[in-house]
Each structure stands twice: as structure tokens, then as C-alpha cells.
Chains A and B, each alone.
Chain A
Amino acid sequence: MKNLTWVGLIAIIFGTACKFNTGDKTVLPIYGNRRPVTKMVNDKPVTDTLYQTISKFKTINQYGDSISNKSLDGDIYIADFFFTTCPSICPVMHRNMLNVYNAFKSRGDIRIISYTIDPKHDSVPVLKKYADKLGVSGNTWWFLQGKKDDIYKLSESYLVRKPQEDAKQQFIHDGSFILVDKQKRIRGAYDGTDPKQVEQMIADIKTLQNEPDQIIAQ
């Protein structure tokens, strides 16, 4: 009997040790265009891959602080496009995003950014009020106002459908959540209106957080 207990214990120890060693093997894909670049390292040509990254941008958040692409250097983040008076998909997206926010806010190791596609209406005070009512505080989730043309252009670099204004002057846009890694490469795209996909995104964020840091390709 005693022997059996020992065998069991040893098996458990081995089991966990094994898991520790292999870690989580899944690696998230890298989306977007890529091209090979050759550079000289120690006088030898080395071929590297240059991945598509998120373009530069300049915006203001709900607190009135200037936020640019630099503000996100070294961060894993999620981006989406919305507007505060959106009657269709935005409430669903942000109900789901609230789950992501709640999962990570206390750890503070990811950021969420929501670009408004209606900057004319969504001023800094409007965005602040929206954040307050949603129950969002601190710096985990930023609501960003920029120049409309810039934001529409920027949406292309996130590979989402470019927002359009339809006949009713209502904005139609893509409900995607885009997962961006520390090197500003796109690592996931999820339907923000689907709770199951958003759950998958939460799992993928954890996978990405466990990925060893790589040298940033210049």
C-alpha cells in the first residue's frame, strides 16, 4: 500500500516536470505581408523576415493624454474600432471586451485600445463618460480619438475592413478584435461579437505572454 502511494507521488512529480519542460507548444501565427531582407551580420549575409507591423499613429485618450504608437512600445495589446453612439454591434463588442478587461486589469500586463471612427462626436469628454459608464478606469483600456482620415487609413494596417458611411450616414464597420504582439505584429483576429471567439482570444493572449521575447527586426 505504502509502496503504491510512492509510485503515485513519483508519477505525479514526473508528470508535472514534463509539462514544465515542454511548456505550451502552440505558437500563434503571424499575419499580414512579409518579405525577406538580407543584412550583414559579422560580414556574413543573413536572411531575415520582415513582417507587417502596425503603422504610426497619433491620438488622444479619454483622459486627454497624447497616445501614439510609441505609447504601446513593448506592450501586447488588443485593438478595435467603434463609436459611442453605435446602435448595432458595438454594445456586443464592448460587453465581450469587458470580459477581457476584467480578466487582465489587475495584472496590468496587456492594453486594450478602442479607436473611435466618429471623432467629431466622440470628443475626450464623451469618451471619458463612455468609459465611466462602461465601468472602465485606469490605463488598461484606452478610448482614442484621432483625425478621422488618419484612423480610417490606420484601420488598413490592422487588416480590418475600412469603415464606410452608408446611405443613412450610419457608420458600418468591422467588429474585429486584433491581437498585436510586442513587436507590433498582428497575431490574431477575432469576431468581437462572438463570445466564444473572445474566449479563445483570452487564451491566445496568455500563449503570447509566454512566448520568449525575440530580437526586434529592424
Chain B
Amino acid sequence: MKLKITGAISAVIILFIASCQSEESIEFRRYYSSGALVYQTHCQNCHGINGEGLSALIPPLTDSIYLKNNKTALACYIKLGLNRPITIKGRTFDDAMPAAELSPVEIARVLTYIGNSFGNKLNTINEQAVQADLAKCE
């Protein structure tokens, strides 16, 4: 009897975890694939098809440590643009990135895309997270 109950409980737990995970991965896949389109139309001309950047003019998007350390600031960089010297992969960049006219959900999509492409692994950056980050832009 006891065994049966434990068995049932563990089955339920397993089911929960499984459905949770798949929901998460569905969300991820949705953000990621639509983010690829946002990237193509709004970012790829500058940052390149493989996130390689352009010489010393435009930084690559391959500095996983920089992206991780600045994860909660990235939404503001996209929304307001960025114009100050930054160090990416040990090199300094000081040209301006113009502000992008994108909605919070589009920003979330493109950040999920770049955050999980080019060797990066930031997982899903969803709309709620972007909304919260945008509220704190300097």
C-alpha cells in the first residue's frame, strides 16, 4: 500500500517536472526562433551572420562572459542604444550603437537568440524579465 502511494506520488512529480520542462523548452524555442528573425532584420548588418562584428568598428557577440555579467542591462542597451567605450574579448570598442525601435517582447526574443547562439548560453530571457530590466534603465 505504502509502496503504491509513494509510486503514485513519484509518478505525479515526474509528470510535473516533465511537463514543466517541456513548457520551458517550448517557450525557449518560441523566443529563440522568432528572435532569429529580429536579429536578421535589426542586428545582422552590423554584428554579422555569425555574430562576428566588424574589425574594431563593431564588437562581436561572442563574449559570453561579458553578456553574462551584463545580462540585466542588455535590454537597455538595445532600447536606448550604447555609446561608451566597452571591452569585448579584450579589445576596446567605442563607436555608437543606435537605439532600436523594438517592443519589449521583441527585445526578449532577440536577446534569447543572441544569448544562446555564437557559443553563448544564457537560457530564455522572457518578456517579464525584459520589462523589469527596462524599468531600471539609467
Q: Which of B46, B56, B96 contacts A91 (CB 8 A)?
A: B46
Residue among B45, B55, B96 making CB contact with A134, cutoff 8 Å: B55
Task: Known contacts A89-B45, A91-B46, A95-B48; decide if A134 and B54 are in contact (CB<8 Å).
Answer: yes
B105 interface hit (Cβ, 8 Å)? no
**Does A104 reach chain B (CB closer than 8 Å)?**
no
Least Cβ–Cβ distance between B99 and chain A, in angstroms: 10
Query: In the complex, A173 Cα to B58 Cα: how many Å?
Result: 21
List the A side residues contacting B54 at CB < 8 Å: 91, 94-95, 98, 134
Alpha-carbon distance between A89 and B56 when the two chains are bound, in angstroms? 17
**B137 near A: Cβ within 8 Å?**
no
Q: Within 8 Å of chain A (Cβ to Cβ): is B57? A: yes
One of B46, B57, B98 near A130 (C-beta < 8 A): B57
Closest to A136 in B: B55
Query: Cβ of A92 < 8 Å from any Cβ of B?
Result: yes
Q: Which residues of B contact A130 (CB under 8 A)?
A: 57
B9 CB → nearest A CB, Å: 57
B89 to chain A, nearest CB (A): 15
- Chain A CB within 10 A, most for which of B48, B55, B98: B55
Q: How far is the CA of A47 from the CA of B128 in the complex (A)?
A: 75
Most chain B beta carbons < 10 A, residue from A85, A95, A193: A95
Asked if A16 is at the interface of the complex by the 8 Å CB criterion, the answer is no
Q: Which residue of A lies closest to B96 (CB)?
A: A85
B56 x A135 contact (CB < 8 A): yes
Does A133 touch B at the CB level, under 8 Å?
yes
A88 interface hit (Cβ, 8 Å): yes
Main secondary structure of the interface of B (DSSP, over half): loop
Q: Are B55 and A98 in contact (CB under 8 A)?
A: yes
Smallest Cβ-Cβ distance to A132: which chain B residue = B56
Q: Is A87 an interface residue (CB 8 A)?
A: yes
* Chain A residues whose C-beta falls within 8 Å of the C-beta of B45 in the assembled complex: 88-89, 91-92, 193
Q: For the complex, give the distance between the alpha carbons of A135 and B96 in Å.
A: 18
- Tell me whether A91 and B57 are in contact (CB under 8 A): yes
Partner of A87, one of B48, B55, B98: B98
Tell me the chain B residues, 35-49 only, with Cβ under 8 Å from chain A: 45-46, 48
B57 contacts A87, C-beta separation under 8 Å = no
Question: CA separation between A92 and B54, bound complex, in Å?
Answer: 9
Pick from A95, A133, A193: contact of B56, CB below 8 A: A133
Query: Chain B residues near A193 (CB, 8 Å)?
Result: 45
B90 to chain A, nearest CB (A): 16
CA distance A135 to B58 in the complex (A): 12
Contacts of A95 in B (CB 8 A): 48, 54
Q: Which of chain B's residues 16-40 have a Cβ closer than 8 Å to chain A?
A: none
For the complex of A and B, list the 3 residue pairs with the smallest distance between their C-beta atoms, beginning with the closest: A133-B56, A135-B55, A133-B57
- The residues of A with any CB-CB pair to B shorter than 8 Å are 85, 87-89, 91-92, 94-95, 98, 130, 132-135, 193
A130-B57, A133-B95 given; 12 more Cβ-contact pairs under 8 Å:
A85-B96, A87-B46, A88-B45, A89-B45, A91-B45, A91-B46, A91-B54, A91-B57, A133-B56, A134-B54, A134-B56, A134-B57
- 19 residue pairs of the A-B complex, CB under 8 angstroms, read A85-B96, A87-B46, A87-B98, A88-B45, A91-B45, A91-B54, A91-B57, A92-B45, A94-B54, A95-B48, A98-B54, A130-B57, A132-B56, A133-B55, A133-B57, A134-B57, A135-B55, A135-B56, A193-B45
